[in-house]
Amino acid sequence: QVQLVESGGGSVQAGGTLNLSCQVSGYTYSTYSFAWFRHAPGKEREGVAALDSERSVSEAASIQGRFTISQDSAKNTLNLEMHSLKPEDTAVYYCAAVPKLLPPWRALKDAEYIYWGQGTQVTVSS
């Protein structure tokens, strides 16, 4: 049974930094796509960044140059380093996984992912 558990959310001021982590357990597939999504009140869920087992990375334009997605295979974690945070980054952040490779134009589409964490709140104040 695949489980994804996010941590690292919190409240910071604009310009600050947060590091999110997603602990992955029960995932035995050698092929995968992992991603971070976020959902802000009144908005649709948005793909933030994704990586796959071929080490391909996809990023939303809104976070390029500020956020970095990575994985730690030894710890079985998916990470999201977030720098220069803005109030518009405020949202619940979710990690997600699917046991297949996705083309770049599908990597940030939530409909592609079948495993989801419970989310962690990120709040950025101005």
**What pLDDT is stored for residue 28 in this prediction?**
86
Residue that is written with structure tokens 């035995």 in the block: 28
CB 14 within 8 A of CB 86: yes
**Where on the phi/psi map is residue 47: left (φ > 0), alpha (ψ -120 to 50), or beta?**
beta
CA–CA gap between residue 79 and residue 77 (Å, rounded):
6
**Is beta strand 10-13 parallel, antiparallel or unpaired with respect to 120-125?**
parallel
**CA 99 to chain CA mean position, Å:** 16
Summarised one tens digit per residue, pLDDT across range 65-114 is 999 999 999 999 999 999 999 999 999 999 999 999 999 999 999 999 99
**What pLDDT is stored for residue 29 in this prediction?**
87
